[in-house]
Chain A
Amino acid sequence: MSKPKREPVKLVPVPSVNIIPERDVDKTPILEVSHLGIDFGGLTAVDDFNMAIGRTEIAGLIGPNGAGKTTVFNLLTKVYHPTRGTIMLDGRDTGGMNTIQVNKMGIARTFQNIRLFKDLTVLDNVLIGLHNEMDYHLGGAILRFPAYWKAERIAKQRALELLSIFDMQDMAGNLAGSLPYGAQRRLEIVRALGTNPALLLLDEPAAGMNPSETSELMENIQKIRDTFQIAIMLIEHDMNLVMGICEGICVLNYGKVIAKGTAEEIQDNPKVIEAYLGKKKEEN
């Protein structure tokens, strides 16, 4: 499979061993995680996790099954509260916040096992994502004040616009549960975009997709980054996707970061080969 065309990004190392695209260097990183860790009873799921993501970076988080990748996402979105460490979002500490507050501050996510509102229409799914973008209050909704009509009209337009990224505006009236698998994954991304994030977390966006769908997804992820100017962090097992679009990659094994760098650096890193890619090579 050919790698999608994109402008080469110059990567420069920053003091905290992270790699950030040059265009983002002088700006505050959107996400700065230091010494993040969580214990479940006696089990340390994630330990001493450090990472910084530039404002418009596409970052990858890879690692073998059970390495703690989704746990990192759950920590970032406060589904779990970290035992140790700090998460700085856009220079602000998210300690003590909950999922909702973190979402309002700008982290949106998708789920590994799709979590759509299955019995609602595609449009309603996106409108729920746009919930906090509308501001009319309860009384205004029940009595149908002009503010209601205005906000709903704008939100609907916005929802259709967002759906058109994936060319899904014609499916707006369908039930989300009736969509094919790939479309459900795309809808989840659209719903997440509706919350107007600064950082989008994608948990295995290409899982269950065929190669042509995956390459389309790669283009779309870049398109999203370019149009919305947001940072995207993704967990993925599809190496073509990760190596193709991720500017910085972080490899996790047994809850610990074993390597960080660009795609080339990761591919050549003996630790990574040992933990992860090495196995694959032997199989091949």
Chain B
Amino acid sequence: MSINKKIIPMPLRYIINAVLFGAFLYIMNHIISSGIISKYYSGVISLIGIYIILAVSLNVATGYLGQLPLGHAGFMVIGAYTSAIIMKSVAAGSTGVAFPFALLAGGILAGVFGLIIGIPALRLRGDYLAILTLGFGEIIRVILLNIDNVLGFTLTNGAAGLQKIPKTTTFLITFICVGITIFAIHTLMKSRHGRAILSIRENEIAAEACGINTTYYKTLGFVVSAFFAGIAGGLFAGYIGILSPSDFGFMKSIEILVMVVLGGMGSMIGSVLSATVLTALPELLRSFERYRMVVYSLILVIVMIFKPSGLFGTYDFSLNSLLDKLILLFKGKRKNGQKNNEIKEGAEK
């Protein structure tokens, strides 16, 4: 096997993806705004988008960087509270304009916390890192649970949480964020910086011997992961309208981790699909209320038994590679056809 030659030239590959994604956004947005889908289901779709961002961002730290952070909900709640507090303070008329900035602020603050926690945490490995990040997530939750005001301003309201957050999260903004997240992480990973992150997962000693600054790239992976988790948190705040610290406990982190592990650590398509399925499944199974957690758990057990590396392993889907293959297949068939004809002609002569 040699490196596959790319048949579709580079800029075109991006354009194809962008056009298809744009078409998807337009059609879905049209369907939702025209009211064909009930408000409940369109809410579920937004929630799926939020969980896709969470899973894809956690995948950077687990799948690509090879660490096991258990505090992803901690970054999410930082983003959620930041964004919610900003949104509550802006005038009612300008919420639509302010929302992207609120999301960005949430992401940046989560990223800053990622940096603060990342620098000491990433000196540790494996179980130790897991426990430290777990502790971090709990600290954030407990602080938010117990603190009413920050520097004299009543901001977080302690256990009562935040209420009446403007519900500004729509399908469109959620999935634009999904698109940006996936694009940014994809382009990051397919660059020298991304390869450096992967090399740390594969073999840290060899990575250092190749002149890769492992501390920097570990921190980078961690911060990127936290940043997008913060954005997802902001979207979640705008989606749900009410935030209470107890929603962002340890189980939330585990829930996101399960999505990543189930989809395959290191596979973006795996994270996207398993986030979609695992968010939709409990909603779809609502009619058998009593058994839905059983079914959910059973699926996890079965997947782990038969495909321990996750549904997709480290496989990543590329639409253009698929198109490349189809074109090759088509060309190949035509060539084979021509050959067969030549052989036939030869035989006739």
Residues of A within 8 A of B (CB): 77, 79, 99-100, 103-104, 108-109, 111, 115-121, 123-124, 127-132, 134, 136, 138, 141-144, 148-149, 151-152, 155, 170-174, 191-192, 194-195
Q: Which of A99, A111, A119, A127 has the most CB of B within 10 A?
A: A99
A141/B188 in contact, CB under 8 A: yes
Contact of B208 among A100, A149, A170 (CB under 8 A): A100
Within 8 A of A (CB), among B197-217: 198-199, 202-203, 205-214
A170/B2 in contact, CB under 8 A: yes
Q: How far does the alpha carbon of A121 sit from the alpha carbon of B207 in the complex, in Å? A: 15
Total A-B residue contacts, Cβ distance less than 8 Å? 105
Closest to A105 in B: B211
B206/A103 in contact, CB under 8 A: no
What are 19 of the A-B contact pairs (CB < 8 Å)?
A: A100-B214, A103-B210, A115-B206, A117-B202, A117-B207, A119-B202, A128-B196, A131-B192, A131-B212, A132-B211, A141-B188, A141-B192, A141-B193, A142-B187, A143-B187, A144-B14, A155-B192, A172-B2, A195-B211
Report the 9 A-B pairs with minimum CB-CB distance, sorted nearest first. A141-B191, A117-B202, A103-B211, A115-B206, A173-B3, A99-B208, A172-B3, A128-B199, A132-B211
A242 to chain B, nearest CB (A): 23
B1 within 8 A of A: yes
Q: How far does the alpha carbon of A129 sit from the alpha carbon of B4 in the complex, in Å? A: 21
Residues of B within 8 A of A (CB): 1-4, 10, 14, 184, 187-188, 191-196, 198-199, 202-203, 205-214, 220, 314
A95 to chain B, nearest CB (A): 18
Q: How far does the alpha carbon of A77 sit from the alpha carbon of B206 in the complex, in Å? A: 11
Closest to B195 in A: A128
A124/B209 in contact, CB under 8 A: no
B10/A149 in contact, CB under 8 A: yes
Contact of B187 among A118, A144, A191 (CB under 8 A): A144
Query: When A119-B314, A123-B3, A173-B1 are in contact, do A128 and B205 touch as well, CB less than 8 Å?
Result: no
Q: How far does the alpha carbon of A238 sit from the alpha carbon of B2 in the complex, in Å? A: 33
Beyond A123-B3, A131-B210, 9 additional contacts (C-beta under 8 Å) are A103-B208, A103-B211, A117-B198, A117-B202, A119-B202, A120-B202, A131-B212, A152-B191, A195-B210
Contacts of B1 in A (CB 8 A): 171, 173-174
A111/B206 in contact, CB under 8 A: yes
B224 to chain A, nearest CB (A): 9
B195/A108 in contact, CB under 8 A: no
Contacts of A116 in B (CB 8 A): 202-203, 206
Q: How far does the alpha carbon of A117 sit from the alpha carbon of B64 in the complex, in Å? A: 13
B54 to chain A, nearest CB (A): 20
Q: How far does the alpha carbon of A142 sit from the alpha carbon of B314 in the complex, in Å? A: 21
Contacts of A132 in B (CB 8 A): 211-212
Q: How far does the alpha carbon of A142 sit from the alpha carbon of B183 in the complex, in Å? A: 8
Query: When A127-B192, A138-B193 are in contact, do A79 and B202 touch as well, CB less than 8 Å?
Result: no
A100/B206 in contact, CB under 8 A: no
Contacts of B214 in A (CB 8 A): 100
Q: How far does the alpha carbon of A262 sit from the alpha carbon of B208 in the complex, in Å? A: 33
A106 to chain B, nearest CB (A): 10
Contacts of B205 in A (CB 8 A): 79, 111, 115
